[in-house]
Amino acid sequence: MKKGVLTIIASLLLVLVIYPGELKAQTDKGFIYGKVYTISGEVFEGQIRWGKEEAFWFDFFNATKQGNSFLRYLDRDEVEELEKRSRDWGERWTRRWFNVSSWNDEDFNHVFVCQFGDIKTLTVRSRNRVEIELKNGQTYRLDDGSNDIGARLRIMDAELGEVQVKWERLDKVEFMDTPNKLDAKFGEPIFGTVTTRRGEITGFIQWDHDERLGNDKLDGESRDDDLSIPFKNIKSITKGGRGVDLLTKTGREIYLWGSNDVNSDNRGIIVNTSDMGRVDIPWREFEKVEFKEPGKNDVPEYRNFEKPKALSGTVTTIRGESFSGKIVFDLDEEYDFEILQGESDDIEYLVPFRAIKKIVPKNYHYSEIFLVNGEKLLLGDSQDVSDKNYGILVFEDEDNHTYIKWEDVEEIVFK
C-alpha cells in the first residue's frame, strides 16, 4: 500500500478517536431556520423556536381559514341538506351562514394546518391575522385559531445569541434551508421508540405535548427530593403504578411520581414520524419510551418538503361510477400538505395527504386509510373519516365538476 494512502487512513482514524461526536448523524438541518424581520427594520437570522413549542420543520402551524370558496359549487338543496345534517350533529352552524346568493360565505371557516417545512414566508397583517405563502406560491389569509398566531418568537442569532421578538414587533418571517451545523442552538431533538399496547412507533417525541428538546426537563418527585432531569440524560421511561421508572444514560434507576410529566395528568406523548405524520398517544395507551439518536434519514430537512401539489385522483361511488381529476376533500382540503385527522383506539393520527394512497369509508364512523409506505390505519372519531365529512368535489376540468356525498363514496385513490 502506498505511503500516501496510509497517511489518509491514519488521519481518518485520528478523527474518529478525537472527534467522535462530529461523526454522528447531522440533525441540525431539521430545525426551523430563517430570517425574522421586525417593524423597526431589524433582521435576525438563525434557528427559530415558535414560542416555547414548535422547533422543527415537521411541526404544525395552526390557524383558521377565511371562508370557503367551494360552497359556490353546491346547489341550494345540497347546501340546505348539509345545514340540516350539521344541526343533527350538534355543530354550531346557523342558516345565516348560507343565506348568500354566491354561496361563498366568509363565515364558513375551516381549520388550516400545515407543517412549517411547507411555508416560504409568513407576514403579520394584524394582531390576529397573518398571510402565509407556501413553496408553490399559494397564499392564504389566515385568522387566529391557535397560539401560533400571537406567539413570541425566539431566534438563535449567530452574532447576538438568543433574541426574543414579541408578536406585536414582528413584520415577516422568511424561512430558509438550515445550515448543516449550527454554532448555537436551543438543544438537540428528543428521538426514540414509544411502545404502546398496540405496538411501537419511532420518531421525534413531544413529551406531555410540550417538551421536545434535550434541554427540556422531566419533573417529578423521588423518595429523596423533587427532581428536574434534562431529557438528554434519560435513556428510557417506563410507566409503572402512579408514576414512572426512569433509567438514566449512566445507568441510574429512579422512580418518579407527583407531576403531570409522570402520571395520568400527562396530556400525551406525541411522536412525529417521517411517513405517517403525527401520532398522539394518550397516557393510558403509553407503556414505555426508549430514547436514541436519530439517523440522518430520520431528519426531515426544509428541502424535503416539496412544493405543495393539488390533490388529484379517482373517486369511485357505491353505484360504480368513477370520477377523475382534481379532488377537494371534505369541501376544504385541496393540497397534499393538508392534514387528515382520525383516531384508532384513542390514539390520534394527523396524516398529511401526501402520505395517503387510498381512503375507503367502512361505515358511518370509520374509514380505512392506506398509506404510501404500505401501512393501513382504521380511523374514526373525526369529521374527515366519518359521515360528518361534507363530501368530495371532483373537477374533471375547469368547466366540469361533480359533488359526491360522503355516504356515496366507495373509495378515493390519490394519484
CB 281 within 8 A of CB 268: yes
Tell me how far CA of residue 374 lies from CA of 53, 215, 237, 358, in angstroms.
31, 35, 30, 11
Query: Would you place residue 87 in the very low, low, confident or very high pLDDT band (cuts 50, 70, 90)?
Result: low
Of the chain, the percentage scoring pLDDT greater than 70 comes to: 88
Q: What is the pLDDT averaged over residues 270-292?
A: 96
Work out the burial of residue 176: count CB atoms within 10 Å of its CB; fewer than 13 is exposed, 13-18 middle, 19 or more buried: middle
pLDDT at 143 over 50: yes
Residue 21 has a pLDDT of: 39
Is the pLDDT reported for residue 367 higher than 90? yes
Report DSSP state, residue 261: T
Summary mean pLDDT of the chain? 88
Q: How far apart are CA 395 and CA 372, in angstroms?
A: 23
Q: How far apart are CA 282 and CA 234, in angstroms?
A: 21
pLDDT at residue 11, rounded to an integer: 43
Model pLDDT, residue 81: 83
Run of H or E residues at 7:
helix 3-18
Average pLDDT (131-154) is 93
Cell 363530501 sits at which residue? Answer: 391
Per-residue pLDDT, averaged over 139-150, amounts to 91
pLDDT value of position 90: 54
pLDDT of residue 132: 97
Of residues 144 and 156, more confidence is placed in 156
Separation between Cα atoms, residue 409 and residue 358, nearest integer Å: 12
Identify the pLDDT of residue 88: 63
Q: How confident is the model at residue 130 (pLDDT cuts 50, 70, 90)?
A: very high
With CA atoms as reference, report the closest residue to 216 among 203, 204, 201: 204
- The reported pLDDT for the residue numbered 198 is 87
Residue appearing with cell numbers 388529484? 312
For position 352, what pLDDT does the model report? 97
Distances (CA, A) of 290 to 121, 191, 233, 265, 304: 36, 9, 12, 21, 27
| pLDDT over 80 (residue 101) | no
The answer to whether 184 and 161 are in contact (CB under 8 A) is: yes
Taking a C-beta distance cutoff of 8 angstroms, is the pair 202, 297 a contact?
Answer: no
The 10s digit of each residue's pLDDT in 50-75 is 988 899 999 999 999 887 888 888 88
The tens digit of pLDDT for each residue in 200-216 reads 999 999 999 999 999 99
At 329 the three-state DSSP class reads: strand
Q: How confident is the model at residue 190 (pLDDT cuts 50, 70, 90)?
A: very high
Output the pLDDT for position 71. 87
- State the greatest distance between any 2 C-alpha atoms of the chain, in Å, as a whole number: 85
Q: What is the pLDDT of residues 371-398, one digit of tens each?
A: 999 999 999 999 999 999 999 999 999 8
pLDDT range class, residue 307, cuts 50, 70, 90: very high
Please state, as a whole number, how many other Cβ atoms lie within 10 Å of the Cβ of residue 390: 25
Residue 355 has pLDDT above 60, yes or no: yes
Task: Tell me the Ramachandran region of residue 268: left when phi exceeds 0, alpha when psi lies from -120 to 50, beta otherwise.
Answer: left
Segment among 45-49, 170-174, 249-253, 394-398 with least mean pLDDT: 394-398
- Contact of 110 with 68, CB cutoff 8 Å: yes
Question: What integer pLDDT is reported at residue 68 of this predicted model?
Answer: 83
- Length of the chain equals 415
